[in-house]
Chains A and B, each alone.
Chain A
């Protein structure tokens, strides 16, 4: 499913964003090919979410060049459903001509069509996150932005949600940028993993492993080790991520 042709879905050059005198993004470059699944890793506070918000169009005070597709959707870290709207209405909110039948089709795709008439408050965290995914997909986005959507889920639910995202990606063929701090999640899902540090992409790795991926395979373990090292989890390599872009 990796880039059939060479067209890019996202092209960003020299993106800079500062809050006051704190520069969060510092001349960042990023490209995402059409239909590519990219995971963005980085320690908390490194600017991953800021980048995602900028790509989503929620933050406009930036410098640099940016080309993104017109149809973009976001699934946030928390589901952010309107508690006063039924589940189905949440899914098609903001969509002209969206009705319950359409909502139910997308809810079925994420496996919870039976909750179409429920109030969001009655859903579990995993279910609410699925509704949030359905809401993102109903716009048939060319670029789907996922901001740590599984972070708050328990391990079992997270595993299911990850498999669901992999399926949805295969089916819809959209480009995905997944922001996460979970190295395994990134390696399970993505074509390419980026590591962000100091407001730039400090490291990137193509994940050439065949899907579905095996957490125990030697290649997987090796990649995971390398990424952890790049993230500074293994202290042996802390100052090594300076500027040079390594492609594995």
Chain B
């Protein structure tokens, strides 16, 4: 009898132990799951500031401001208001044990500070930024960075420092140096622009004088694919190399040539064309130039978006009368409808983490908002609210944010928002029309 009980206990121990090991394993291999769980504790971080050593008046403040915004958007850190907990921030320029201790006692895990100024003393037009990191866990200054460059890279210095911090504490690529390609009205035309993910440093990348639409990044960030109206009467799908401005035409079928999307391995271009009468989805092998039609029905099929594995695609189809989001295999097999709520669901974007598909959903009040749905259709959430017409959702490479266009402030502008609808932030302010944003992969 006793033997049986002992035996049972052993079995229970083994099972529980194995379960625990399983949990620990999954934690070790996927930090992201941790960071998106509702109970995830953000890492409290304090920024002491960046002493200005003779540089332009704005220098230290600019670095601090950019860095703080990056850390906040990372959703990995929570910024601690240091003066609020009684730490006098301006006093720290070098390691100061007493101040570290005070901050650590108030629950701050990581402290950063630094200095900035002309690289070789006053008169040097080249700037430098030194940044340092103190970690209350190890109770020491764990490292530093020194960046040098012209005034035009000051924001980039802060962005790189933020990405270094995110990487150090999560093992993930941060998003502070990512870019967004978008469409902006320029004169009477719509041209493509690329800007930093926070809306700064916009640069024009096409100057055709008519319509360029729906830009998307190549997975290696070197190229942009988009729909170009070659003349006012025909559309092509073109690809542009960012570093050189060189341009190729990939698709030039009759009718619509829209919604291009490169596969995660870069080898295939999925797109929609109406050369066979109504809009259908095609797949072009960029190595052999062979193209195959993937969808066959009377409705309009468009907006293919690849799953991160490249094995499936989500797309829009109005085969039931009104547009809905569908999923199929990358070879066109196994088509199934994903969205059922409402009579207008379109413009799907598959999260780089694979766990969500974002799309434009029309609400019962006939408002066009952003929704997310799990690829199995089991979970669905409305992300944005309010009166603006929201369009063209695109995921940040860390899967924590969406960028999109909205008319909530009148004219169409570009915004970003967390997947839970929090931290809505407008990121374009100039111009008469900004739309169709696409977030770059991480570096």
Decide if A and B are genuine partners.
Answer: no
